[in-house]
Structure 1
Amino acid sequence: MSQPTPDVRPAAVAGMFYPGSPAVLARDVRLLLTDTSPAPGRRAKAIIAPHAGYIYSGPIAASVYAPLHALRDSIRRVVLLGPTHRVAVNGLAAPASTAFATPLGVVPVDAEAIATIAHLPQVVVSDDAHALEHSLEVQLPFLQTVLDRFTLVPLAVGRASAAQVAEVLECLWGGDETLIVISSDLSHYLPYALARQTDAETARHIVALDAHIDHQQACGATPVNGLLLAARRHALKAQLIDLRNSGDTAGDRSRVVGYGAFAFTAETADVH
């Protein structure tokens, strides 16, 4: 892949959270997607996927990404929200960058879509918020593999209310051409048995569209709650696709991180 130009946000965690080699990354993502068993179902309008290193959360993320391959001809825009881990942000930060790069190529940022939310007081522009942020980046190789051409609306979510997130999502909701992806892990560093119990309870709240998830339950609680408010408004149904933790995927069960995959569908939105 050619070197990104200055207005392209380069990959920051390639070689750490996922392979830096384009060939190895492409192979690993395809293997993860092949190893899952996606059940046929309704068209997903939104998903929640985890964002740890692929050896930890890759199989869980793959379970919710694999069914999107059936929608590759219709999805043309991905609205991607994830929590900030390194830079404090008031509100939701859009990038000034015109594209995001991974070893699999460059995804253009949807400047028109970002312009439609620029008037909202909770929306700011900050390349610093995106520069080292992994929560959005790790989703991109999955999206690049299961979808065809698409533009990206990447928003790094900092201090904001669920209602403010929901307002942004409402502006960007669109139709079948728009997929919403929320990046979040679940509980952090609990013993295995307690993590399973805690994450199962969190999953029940998410499936019930109960927008009262806290940051002990999910690091991306703010964007998750915003999606839950929007999903309730649009009468979407939430489905738990996969629920595991790092003790299931990487072995160590003394202190684990929880991962959940969820799909949100309209009652009448069948996949064709």
Structure 2
Amino acid sequence: MYKPGSDRHPLVDGLFYPSQEEELKQALSLDPALEQSSAIIVPHGGYTHVLKHLQEAFSHVVDQKPELIILIGPTHREPEDHIFYPDYVNFESPLGLVPVASELTSQLKKPFTRDKMNHMEEFSLEILLPFVREYFPDKPVLPLLMGKDSMKLVKEGKKQLQQKLPEKTLYIISSNLSPHDRQTEEWALNNSAWITKGDYQSLMEISRKSKKQPCGLGPLLFVKELLPSGHWKTCTNMTCSTGDSKRGLEVWYQSFWFDYT
């Protein structure tokens, strides 16, 4: 019988977020929002750029008592027709271990694929682990990386996973409003509006025509298939990082919470 491997060690601690416990706990401080949800969209990047978005989004879920937490984000690699789950027992964070739902992953089949390299190299889920460890200690997580923005992949994944999830599942989607590219503000504004309107068709059209889709469109589409009726509401205003100003590259961030009413 297959047994998963060891623990995943942090890759970007001390670079994207504080590696020291005291400083990190200060960054995680937040007040619970009045409106609580079981699904949020958060951006990925260094805390210098995305911390406010993370704090506001997590404030909408901290009062939840989930049985399982799904962390789902993109891979920053070449597209592949797989949804990757980790070959790890735990994900390490500066605040302690975050256990992987190994009993659930052992039941997954194609398009889900056991993987170590993608999860080892990917930061989009790692930056969420301190919040998960702080506010949901010892709760199992199902970390997933979408290899492609594909509805076929989404439908196949939903068909297999839907019946395996507990009723109290918390969904945390890692997605930026835009890719790291030139002149993306207009696209980011459109993407934000389409997310709140639930216009996933327009998001897919952008993906096919211009490649200005959210960096995390696949995860958005996947969770949309798993959630009941409702709509996304913004937690924060859009912000921009221009980390490569010489080439005119920028990326846009925003966070959302899911309103079931």
Pairwise same-fold verdict (TM > 0.5)? yes
**Pairwise CA distance, 1:143:** 1.7
**Pairwise CA distance, 1:115:** 3.0
The answer to whether the aligner puts 1:158 opposite 2:147 as a matched pair is yes
Structure 1 residues 240 and 129 mapped into 2: Cα distance closer, same or farther (>3 Å)?
Answer: same
The count of residues paired between Structure 1 and Structure 2 equals 245
Which residue of the partner structure matches residue 169 of structure 2?
178
**Pairwise CA distance, 1:182:** 0.9
Structure 1 residues 9 and 63 mapped into 2: Cα distance closer, same or farther (>3 Å)?
Answer: same
1:8, 1:98 within 8 Å by CA — same for their partners in 2?
yes
User: For the residues of structure 2 that align with 1:133 and 1:179, how far apart are their CA atoms?
Assistant: 21
1:83, 1:183 within 8 Å by CA — same for their partners in 2?
yes
User: For the residues of structure 2 that align with 1:142 and 1:12, how far apart are their CA atoms?
Assistant: 16
Q: Deviations over 1:70-127 (max 9, x none)?
A: 22xx1231111110114654311111111100111101100122234x13x2100011
Runs of 5+ in structure 1 lacking a partner? 1-5, 268-272
Amino acid of the structure 1 residue aligned with 2:215 = C
Which residue of the partner structure matches residue 228 of structure 1?
224
Which residue of the partner structure matches residue 92 of structure 1?
83
Amino acid of the structure 2 residue aligned with 1:165 = V
Structure 1 residues 134 and 50 mapped into 2: Cα distance closer, same or farther (>3 Å)?
Answer: same
User: For the residues of structure 2 that align with 1:187 and 1:160, how far apart are their CA atoms?
Assistant: 14
Structure 1 stretch displaced more, 101-110 or 143-152? 143-152
Structure 1 residues 211 and 89 mapped into 2: Cα distance closer, same or farther (>3 Å)?
Answer: same
- Which of 41, 51, 60 is the matching residue for 2:44? 51
Q: Deviations over 1:16-35 (max 9, x none)?
A: 111122222122222xx35x
Aligned Cα root-mean-square deviation (Å) = 2.5
User: For the residues of structure 2 that align with 1:189 and 1:157, how far apart are their CA atoms?
Assistant: 18
Amino acid of the structure 1 residue aligned with 2:218 = T
Secondary structure of 1:238's counterpart equals strand
Return the TM-score normalized by structure 1.
0.80
Return the TM-score normalized by structure 2.
0.83
Q: Deviations over 1:226-270 (max 9, x none)?
A: 222333xx212221212322359x9x7x64311121111322xxx
Amino acid of the structure 2 residue aligned with 1:128 = M
Runs of 5+ in structure 2 lacking a partner? none
Secondary structure of 2:63's counterpart equals helix
Structure 1 residues 172 and 18 mapped into 2: Cα distance closer, same or farther (>3 Å)?
Answer: farther
Which residue of the partner structure matches residue 131 of structure 2?
142
Which residue of the partner structure matches residue 101 of structure 1?
92
- Which of 197, 201, 220 is the matching residue for 1:208? 197
User: For the residues of structure 2 that align with 1:47 and 1:172, how far apart are their CA atoms?
Assistant: 21
2:71, 2:172 within 8 Å by CA — same for their partners in 1?
yes
Amino acid of the structure 1 residue aligned with 2:25 = A
1:184, 1:218 within 8 Å by CA — same for their partners in 2?
yes
Secondary structure of 2:200's counterpart equals coil
Secondary structure of 2:238's counterpart equals strand
**Pairwise CA distance, 1:173:** 4.2
State, as a whole percentage, how many aligned pairs show the same letter. 26
Which residue of the partner structure matches residue 25 of structure 2?
26
